[in-house]
């Protein structure tokens, strides 16, 4: 399924006072929200360059869920991918649209020439998995510019922001710690077969519906031995069931090291209670006994969340749900 060999190429670290390029590869955001994100990031000492089409909307595409036409969204991203003056690419928001432009993005050798941190989550999962499968580079699943409790919003969480800068900065990832209040929801449903406390492998944090949408395409990386971290929003239990069954039939879940479960929210309180019980059960049903399973990761469509590398080799400690990486000298 993957055209690349692991380990994946690591992006260069984001320097102090570096340049951030804002792109909208998926859904639209008002120009005022993008301007607010520029203000916040500039106050952090960053130089910010906004893609020419970052504030485009449905008036150009004809679709209310797209930030302008496919060609323009791809052009902005391709420009920043190969521009050495851009030190980090930050997606404006998710929604939907990344999958439409994957076949318009730069050739792998061009992307690999100057790998830089590329950050986003939700629909940006499609872009992150593409970068792993197509170009063999590590990206990051983390907070965005204007949506999902991002930089432009009053709900920006200090822990989440700290995790963002820790992930992309010069020091890189060491240990990834839990939020200050701990992780009372952490639970191990199936320990590793060797009776140890840890699992190691390339980490793939992903929005489940976007992961599923790439099954059967050349844009899904090799998941053998991977630690898969899943989350989703506005999906009922039956839909999660359907997605996991599809992934099982496609062979994606067969040779994982572990499945770690983040948040499944955005529905009613009653449905979220069903998801809390049902998602671990469904994961156990759809994975072989060799795959460790735990839930309660601080990851997903929630305000207080980790920024995690996509494709970097890491170790998950199943005693408390922390991660450790060694991706910088």
Q: Which residues are catalytic?
A: 122, 231, 301
CB 234 within 8 A of CB 94: no
Task: Specify burial of residue 200 (Cβ count, 10 A radius: 0-12, 13-18, 19+).
Answer: middle
E-state strands within 39-192: 47-50, 88-91, 118-119, 139-141, 175-176, 187-190
Tokens of 173: 């990832």
| Beta-strand runs (E) in the chain | 19-23, 47-50, 88-91, 118-119, 139-141, 175-176, 187-190, 198-207, 227-233, 258-265, 292-295, 308-310, 313-317, 322-325
Please state, as a whole number, how many other Cβ atoms lie within 10 Å of the Cβ of residue 113.
Answer: 13
């Amino acid at each position: 399924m993957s055209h690349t060999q692991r380990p994946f190429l690591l992006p260069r670290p984001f320097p102090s006072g570096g340049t951030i390029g804002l792109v909208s590869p998926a859904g639209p955001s008002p120009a005022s929200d993008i301007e607010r994100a520029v203000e916040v990031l500039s106050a952090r000492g960053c130089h910010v360059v906004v893609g020419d089409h970052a504030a485009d909307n449905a008036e150009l595409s004809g679709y209310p869920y797209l930030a302008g036409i496919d060609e323009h969204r791809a052009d902005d991203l391709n420009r920043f991918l190969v521009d050495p003056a851009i030190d980090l690419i930050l997606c404006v928001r998710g929604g939907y649209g990344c999958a439409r432009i994957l076949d318009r993005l730069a050739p792998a050798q061009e992307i690999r020439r100057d790998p830089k941190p590329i950050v986003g989550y939700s629909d940006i999962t499609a872009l992150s998995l593409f970068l792993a499968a197509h170009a063999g580079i590590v990206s990051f699943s983390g907070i965005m510019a204007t949506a999902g409790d991002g930089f432009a919003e009053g709900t920006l969480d200090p822990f989440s922001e700290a995790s963002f800068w820790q992930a992309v900065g010069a020091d890189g990832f060491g240990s990834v710690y839990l939020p200050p209040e701990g992780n009372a929801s952490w639970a191990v449903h199936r320990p590793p077969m060797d009776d140890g406390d840890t699992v190691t492998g390339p980490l793939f944090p992903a929005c489940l519906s976007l992961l599923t949408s790439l099954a059967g395409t050349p844009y899904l990386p090799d998941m053998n031995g991977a630690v898969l971290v899943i989350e989703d929003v506005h999906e009922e239990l039956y839909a999660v069931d359907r997605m996991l069954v599809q992934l099982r039939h496609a062979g994606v879940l067969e040779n994982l090291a572990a499945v770690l479960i983040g948040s499944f929210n955005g529905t009613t309180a009653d449905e979220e209670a069903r998801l809390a019980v049902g998602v671990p059960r469904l994961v156990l049903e759809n994975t072989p006994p060799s795959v460790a399973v735990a839930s309660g990761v601080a990851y997903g469509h929630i305000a207080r969340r980790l920024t995690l590398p996509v494709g970097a080799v890491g170790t998950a400690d199943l005693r408390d749900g922390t991660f450790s990486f060694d991706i910088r000298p």
